[in-house]
Chains A and B, each alone.
Chain A
Amino acid sequence: MEVEKITEEAPEVKTFRLKFKNHEDAEKFEFKAGQFGEYSVMGEGESTFCIASAPTRKGYIECTFRKAGRVTGALANLEEGETIGFRGPYGNIFPIDEWKGKNLLYIAGGIALPPMRCVIWNTLDLRENYKDITIIYGARTVNDLVYKQELKEWDERPDVKLVTTVDPGGETPDWKGEVGFVPTVLEKIAPSSKDTIAIVCGPPIMIKYTFPVLEKLGFTEDTIFTTLENRMKCGFGKCGRCNVGKYFVCKDGPVFTYKQLKELPDEY
């Protein structure tokens, strides 16, 4: 795929807009919100990221990554017009059709907004299908918030409630959002659980602390969704590294309900 556009999101974080070089591949390619792919730089290897753009936006896909290792380091060195490899889509999906007529509460932390951005835009593009949409997004510092342009856009939209927060100490003098960890801010805002689906995505530690808060707010186990990101290589249930108990995050996930997670051993 060709890197059509590169956006710098935060320090070391970039978004690539990718276009299929081959017209037939582009025609054939279909995916749904929640799925992921394997992105590769030949000679360096492959890396796993969720598709960060919505399936309602045709003709391209986007991925957002933080430069952290060998492959992401090589990806970060690419320029617009260069080519990368892509395999996918893999994994299961967010059941957005089943969420029709409900309120949606998105809760994301740090570099975990990208896997959620796909489903956020997907539901925003089908806005009439859903009632209130709330997004709570936190990062370590103001600088670490990704998709700053889109956050602004969501903030300005009358049909979206956006709450941004940064960890204590991560604020700047002109920061107007919240200060505090995501679970704390969630408790403070206390959104209603009535007719609401909560979608949580973040580092394992954030997820583990957010679930109890949601339960306290009255969310039931099957109305809370998350997406896991275990280390992967193959993407289709063979290489043996992403399993949590008997489930493969790459096949049975990455999207799980809290109910499913509770049945899984603590191995994520």
Chain B
Amino acid sequence: MELERKLIKKASLEKLYQKLQANGNKIFAPIIKDGKTEFHYNPSYAEVTYDHIQTIQSLKNTVFPKIENLVRFTTDRNGTEVTEVDLAKVPSLVLWGAHPCDAAGFKALKSIFMWDYKDEYFNSRMNKMVVIGLSCYKCDDNCFCTSVGLNPGATNGSDILLTKLSTGDYLAEIITEKGKEIVNAAAELFEAAPAEAKEGNLAQVKQQFSHEKVTKNLAGAFEHPFWVENSLRCIGCGACAFVCPACACFDIQDETKGKTGKRLRCWDSCGFGLFTIHTSGHNPREVQSQRWRQRIMHKFSYMPERNESLGCIGCGRCSRACPVDMNILEQLIALEKIQ
């Protein structure tokens, strides 16, 4: 289906931002602070940047916060009183300037949280969120979206996708009903579609491997020496998992303060040594190579088969964040070739 296309002038973009903010939405947008570009809540429009290749952290915190309050409880002499969290109070959120890979990251998360049992915490945050995507006009050698079925102008996951044109104005592609509502409510800011094509304004990300081939190879590669050989330098931290837009492993922990407390869901990582340890002390994934294998297998073998989605969107954050250069792209290229 042909997407509806419009033009939004640079000056109107600011008006749209302010309009959305004035309507009571929380806005999550990228700004440069202490030399680093990261998404922050409700920055002023003057701070918002469109020039970054990639933020260090992913945007999953919006729908899968690093700490999610599941229930509250109060314990006293009469017993324990449990109070549900009121999910109707989840605020409306506009994600402003998410790159296409990040927008697709939400699809990957959805394939986990909405697979089989539907996770209401995730779902209510997802439903309250609008994604205004921004095509990439530049990339670095860690980017590999085109190798995982995406591209720097991919629309999947965004409600509206903006692409900067040579004039400095933006092409707006309206992808979903949510996107349409925003455009309709601010019709005066949008103009007729520009003649200029989107394609000439996108970063060139070369396809470096076939993910189908990687998935196929992984099916028989559980015992392959590749894992030990290529993970000796892995130090087993959770940096890759925590910056990943598609990693969703979590822990459940209670936090108490006097008589009241909360049950929390917090990020966890399959790379941690004690992640799978049994009470008896037996650990099914005892050494780091097994945990590294799990990370790749989950994203490129188990998820495609069970969740009908890859667990990777090619943003390259894990490679940039890794303190010991466990570069995922390098490994996937190698996995495409293993016998």
Direct contact of A and B (CB under 8 A): yes
| In the complex, chain B residues whose CB is within 8 Å of the CB of A251 | 116
A177 to chain B, nearest CB (A): 23
Q: List 29 A-B contacts (CB under 8 A).
A: A40-B263, A42-B73, A42-B263, A45-B253, A45-B254, A46-B252, A68-B279, A72-B279, A230-B276, A230-B278, A231-B276, A231-B278, A233-B250, A238-B112, A238-B113, A238-B115, A238-B119, A241-B268, A241-B275, A241-B276, A242-B276, A243-B294, A245-B297, A245-B302, A246-B302, A265-B222, A265-B223, A267-B284, A267-B285
Given contacts A43-B73, A43-B254, A68-B279, contact A237 B270 (CB under 8 A): no
Check B166 for interface membership: any CB of A closer than 8 A.
no
Instruction: Decide: B298 and A240 in contact? CB cutoff 8 A.
Output: yes
What mask results when residues 285 to 306 of chain B are scored 1 for a CB within 8 Å of chain A, else 0? 1000010001001100110011
A50 to chain B, nearest CB (A): 14
Given the known inter-chain contacts A243-B302, A246-B301, A267-B284, please indicate yes or no for A233 contacting B263, CB distance below 8 A: no
Chain A, range 8-28, C-beta contacts under 8 Å to B: none
Q: Which of B80, B117, B276 touches A238 (beta carbons < 8 Å)?
A: B117
- Which residue of chain A lies nearest to B261 when distances are taken between CB atoms in the complex? A43
Residues of chain A from 199 to 249 with CB closer than 8 A to chain B in the complex: 203-205, 229-231, 233-234, 236-246
How does the 8 Å CB contact mask read for A78-95 relative to B, with 1 for contact and 0 for none? 000011010000000000
Does B80 contact A42, Cβ atoms closer than 8 Å?
yes
Note all chain A residues with C-beta closer than 8 A to B285.
267
Q: Which residues, 263 to 284 on B, are CB-close (under 8 Å) to A?
A: 263, 268, 270, 275-280, 282, 284
B251 at the interface (CB under 8 A from A): yes
Is A169 located at the chain interface by the 8 A CB criterion?
no
A83 to B79, CA, bound (A): 7
Give the distance in Å from the alpha carbon of A189 to the alpha carbon of B214 in the complex: 49
In the complex, B256 has a CB within 8 A of chain A: yes
- Contacts A44-B254, A85-B82, A203-B282 given: A267-B270 contact, CB under 8 Å? no
Query: How far is A44 from B73 in the complex, measured between Cα atoms in Å?
Result: 12
Rounded to whole Å, the gap between the CB of B148 and the closest CB of chain A is 19
Report the separation of the CA atoms of residues A88 and B305 in the bound assembly, to the nearest whole angstrom: 26
Determine the chain B residues whose CB is within 8 A of the CB of A240 once the complex forms. Answer: 248-250, 268, 270, 298
